Structure 1
Amino acid sequence: MSAHAFNLDNIDDAVFDAFMNLPENMVGEIIAGELHTVPRPAPKHSLAGSSLGFSIGGPFHHGTNGPGGWWILDEPELHIEGDIVVPDLAGWRRERMPTLPDTAWFEAVPDWACEILSPRTARHDRVVKMPLYAHWGVRHLWLVDPDLRVLEAYELSAGKWVLLKALQEDDEVQLPPFDAAGFSLATLWG
């Protein structure tokens, strides 16, 4: 159990029941005791997330032509400090989390998180989730907007997000924490 231990007692029973009974076409999160729901991503948003997972997963998760040493996962369910959050992608350095948990969720704060923005989720991802990730101490955050074809890379510094770089279209992506191997941003757009 991490220093950010999850406590189910902090969640109202009615909110948790609603969360557990969401239809399969919805993604639910509980943040500060409130249920937030969004539909499953549209195809181009799913493609961007899956392609990003492949692009960094090869060198960093599997160690193919890269350093390895990471767990890179799609839509992991995080249970931290009484919140339930589902980033589109997240990564943990294996030195901090040597094995995957036996539960269907994670209680360890990821080292990197990524949100794939859509018109329906962009405000929530920026206004609600970005500050929450900073509070938890996630070191790196990427925001990917498939509609604008933009990737924004942030690093946590003194509890605040600092924009490292914004890339667009087919720029080369070689950004922390995955700067040991690069790929073309165009691979996310299909």
Structure 2
Amino acid sequence: MASTQSLPMLLEQFLKLPETKPASEFINGRIYQKPMPQGKHSRLQFKLCDAVNQVAESQKIALAFPELRCTFGGRSIVPDVTVFCWERIPFDANGEVSNSFEIHPDWTIEIVSPEQNATKVIRNILHCLRHGTKLGWFIDPEERLVLAFLPGEEPRELNLEQRLPVPEFLELALTVNQVFDLLKPG
């Protein structure tokens, strides 16, 4: 992911710019446009949001969002999936989900695309953890690998039938193989 501008700018300036497709992120004074999602990426993103929301939304435990802009700690990033505990979700005066999330997610999930810079993606997960996020997943569909990031711990490499960690507020049992089985329709 290459920077799309050469001179540093302020976060406030970035937030006034029109949204781009695919989304752009603001990191260390620079704008970086995310790559266009491809099939595996989109399918995993959709199915993971759906899996979380099926067990958490009706009980008002949490909500999962695809491609939600989160602005905190001097960055404005758009993780592939963010999960927020219900009590932390910003709602507007009508009781609807707010358009602006100026808080860290409780759980962030990044699905790396073939042309995406894995280091930049991991740095966004680490930024989230430094600002209060409880869990980060880095999913690599090509390698069939998931790295789990927890605050204060080294990343855990998970594969095959290993069960993935989830935040304590959520009851969701998934193995690495089950995550990648989501790529198969039906």
Band the TM-score falls in, shorter-chain normalisation: 0.7 to 0.9
Instruction: Establish whether residue 132 from structure 1 lines up as the match of residue 127 from structure 2.
Output: yes
1:107 maps to a residue whose letter is: E
Aligned to 1:107: 102
Aligned to 1:117: 112
Instruction: Establish whether residue 79 from structure 1 lines up as the match of residue 71 from structure 2.
Output: yes
Give aligned pairs, total. 168
Aligned to 2:58: 62
- Structure with the larger strand share: 1
1:175 maps to a residue whose letter is: P
2:112 maps to a residue whose letter is: L
* SS state at 2:124 partner: helix
Contact 2:70-2:78 within 8 A present in 1 as well? yes
The residue correspondences of 1:25-104 to structure 2 (distance < 5 A) are 26-63=22-59, 69-97=61-89, 99=91, 103-104=98-99
Please report the TM-score for the alignment, with normalisation by the length of structure 1. 0.74
Contact 1:47-1:189 within 8 A present in 2 as well? yes
Aligned to 1:186: 180
1:129 maps to a residue whose letter is: N
CA distance in 1 between counterparts of 2:73 and 2:23 reads 19
Aligned to 1:11: 11
Once the two structures are TM-superposed, the CA of residue 103 in structure 1 deviates from its matched residue by: 4.1
Please report the TM-score for the alignment, with normalisation by the length of structure 2. 0.76
* SS state at 2:154 partner: strand
Aligned mate of 1:141, from 130, 136, 139:
136
1:129-175 Cα distance to aligned partner (Å, 9 max, x none):
13311221211101111112222222112xxx43345133xx36452
Identical aligned residues as a percent: 21
2:71 maps to a residue whose letter is: H
CA distance in 2 between counterparts of 1:27 and 1:109 reads 18
CA 1:59–1:165: 2 relative to 1, 3 Å: farther
CA distance in 2 between counterparts of 1:12 and 1:174 reads 37
Task: Please tell me the root mean square deviation across aligned C-alpha atoms, in Å.
Answer: 2.7
Contact 1:112-1:139 within 8 A present in 2 as well? yes
Once the two structures are TM-superposed, the CA of residue 70 in structure 1 deviates from its matched residue by: 0.6
1:189 maps to a residue whose letter is: L
CA distance in 2 between counterparts of 1:165 and 1:133 reads 19
Contact 1:110-1:138 within 8 A present in 2 as well? yes
1:18-55 Cα distance to aligned partner (Å, 9 max, x none):
x5263x3x220011210011222111111111111122
Contact 1:146-1:189 within 8 A present in 2 as well? no
